[in-house]
Amino acid sequence: MRETTAQQDLIRGVWNENPVLVQLLGLCPALAVTNTVLNSLAMSGATLFVLLGSSLFVSTLKKLIPHEVRISTYILIIATFVTIADMTLAALAPAVYAEIGNFIALIVVNCMILGRQEAFASKRPVGRALLDALGTAAGFTIAMLMMGTFREVVGSGTLLQGTDFVINLFGPNYEPWVVMISPPGGFFTLGFILLFLGWWEDRRLKTKEIRHWPHSVRAPARKEAA
Amino acid sequence: MSDEIRKDGMPPGADSLENKGEEGEDPGKQEHPHREEVMPRDHELYTPQGGGGGTGGGPIREVAVLGDKESVVSGSSGGVTLPQVGPEVATAEALGRAPGEEAEAPGGVPERPEVSSFRLLMTLALAGAIAGALLVFVFQWSDPLIRAEQARVLQEAVTEVLQSPDRFEEVYVLGGEVMAQVPEGASGQPVDTVFLGYDEAGNTIGFAIAGDGFGFQDLIYVIFGYEPAAGELLGMKVLGHKETPGLGDKIVKDSAFVSEFRGLETRWSAEDSLFIRGASSTRSTGDPDEVEMITGVTISSKAVVKIINERIAELGDLLAAYEPGGGEATGTAVGGREEGR
């Protein structure tokens, strides 16, 4: 196991190993509930809570959980926190719950969360596990907001719909792209985002290669001299 | 310098891996010095592709390529640095990261002490018990809040569809009879609850009736205000639905559609056995008993009209004949709609 610093644990999940955009985990909520910014935020909040809670427990109890039943126990812990999140959201934010309530229960099977427990929290100290959970949840939130913002702006022509700060962006004559707030729009959006990021990363690597080209050319000459 | 390290200091795995890329032996390397020096650079950049060692799963590779920033940076700083960052190290780095760590677990700890079934059982039972207990507490806290919210939503809906009554009370329909109170011993039978609204003078305004029926995807829950004497609808509100966002949800969001139900007249006709009718915008005649469907939302808007029709057919006559017990509503005309049937 490679040693990492606390800072790396926190930062890693945010962008470089973003759970949705790089690891392609947790796609169900990313596709299903990102039709408005508010829904994306609520889902991210619930996921943050579940991730923090289950990482805390899994990391604390890692020595007590026998290897053979670890997955069942992790799922049990995750399911408990999901149910708590479900009830809390229903009690405190009924309007949001009415829209995304069905998908809150599905956080249980979000493999991003189980993946963090199995790969990280079950092997590291509590503090590191919490940092990792925070970073992963932040990365999840970033991805959700990217999708939610794009889909709401194009699909409804608004921003922050459902809150008191709703902004109507294009005026009354805008004809919304309804497909963008329906499930196919989620696939389109995610596809375009991944396409762009892949192109960007490819370009970055190529630039780096070209920049260091002189070294590669010089090196053989040195070797021949020796 | 780099030459020496390559011959002596290189880890054993590194050689084979490099050869794998080259597909040749040592003599081959000597003949193509340029290629050899270019290869390491590729190798540093795409670490896991060279050093897969049988664990070349798709996700692992992707994560490592994008995420292994340090190895990329350190590799590029010193020209020919392949010997320092041997493929084995780099592979371990790539595997040491999530989600590649999974691959390490079975191999890393090969011998695990036997755990008794009893302990496994106890662990799960204990975890389940604790989880259950925790959920009981959260439920006890959240349940009253959720119920209060549901009651508030219902009250708001009744107020809205009855056009702000002074007060309203629950009325029960049980076995073909309308009553102000459910009699003792009737707990097992299905009770239909409607809401009777009064104005300031104590006259009845009308009934708020809830109903449900299938829309495009799932049940649509509707509540509407109905004045049996004049046979007039007072308003309609969708309580819950799972229709397509952006399309079907216009039955809630389209204010023109919703406001059409206010003041809509019911007219029963034996031809179609309907009280109110839905018409597409092109065929709309503007009759007072006609609701204009939303274009593209035909199924959902028709479902709303159907639900209201069914509920009026079911309860209309009963409610029209009902006189509230208090006696304050003596002026209510009864049977104003009867000639229709």
Read off the pLDDT of residues B61-83 as tens digits, 9 standing for 90 and up.
444 444 444 444 443 444 444 44
Q: Crossing angle for the helix pair A213-225 and B33-45, nearest 10 degrees?
A: 140
Rounded to two decimals, the ipTM of the complex is 0.75
Q: Give me the residue from A16, A91, A181 closest to B69, CB to CB.
A: A16
Question: Do residues B250 and B257 lie in contact, with contact meaning Cβ atoms separated by under 8 Å?
Answer: yes
Interface of B with A in 272-311 (CB under 8 A): none
How many A-B residue pairs are in contact by the CB < 8 A criterion? 136
Rounded distance between C-alpha atoms, residue A61 and residue A81, angstroms: 15
Closest chain A residue to the Cα of B147, Cα to Cα? A91
Reading chain B (341 residues) residue by residue, the pLDDT tens digits are: 444 444 444 444 444 444 444 444 444 444 444 544 444 444 444 444 444 344 444 344 444 444 444 444 443 444 444 444 444 444 444 444 444 444 444 445 556 778 888 989 998 999 999 999 999 999 999 999 999 988 898 889 999 888 888 888 888 888 777 888 777 776 677 788 889 888 888 888 889 999 999 998 889 999 999 988 888 899 999 988 888 777 888 888 888 899 888 888 888 888 888 888 888 877 777 778 888 888 888 899 999 999 999 999 888 888 888 877 644 433 333 333 333 33
Interface of B with A in 42-61 (CB under 8 A): 45, 59
Peptide bond into B99 cis (omega under 30): yes
The answer to whether B16 contacts chain A (CB < 8 Å) is no
Question: Do residues A159 and A153 lie in contact, with contact meaning Cβ atoms separated by under 8 Å?
Answer: yes
pLDDT digits (tens, 9 = 90+) for B203-242: 888 899 999 999 988 899 999 999 888 888 999 999 888 8
Q: What integer pLDDT is reported at residue B324 of this predicted model?
A: 73
Q: What integer pLDDT is reported at residue B221 of this predicted model?
A: 92
Q: Provide the CA B187 distance to its chain's centre, in angstroms.
A: 34
Listing DSSP states for B154-199 in one string gives: HHHHHHHHTTS-SEEEEEEEETTEEESSPPTT-TTS--EEEEEEE-
pLDDT digits (tens, 9 = 90+) for A3-44: 788 888 888 889 888 899 988 998 888 888 898 899 999 999
Taking the complete model, does pTM exceed 0.90, yes or no?
Answer: no
The answer to whether B118 contacts chain A (CB < 8 Å) is no
- Chain B residues in contact with A67 (beta carbon < 8 A): 112, 115
B142/A23 Cβ within 8 A? no
Q: Nearest-CA distance from B11 to chain A in Å?
A: 18
Question: Do residues A39 and A97 lie in contact, with contact meaning Cβ atoms separated by under 8 Å?
Answer: no
- Chain B residues in contact with A17 (beta carbon < 8 A): 63, 66-67, 97-98
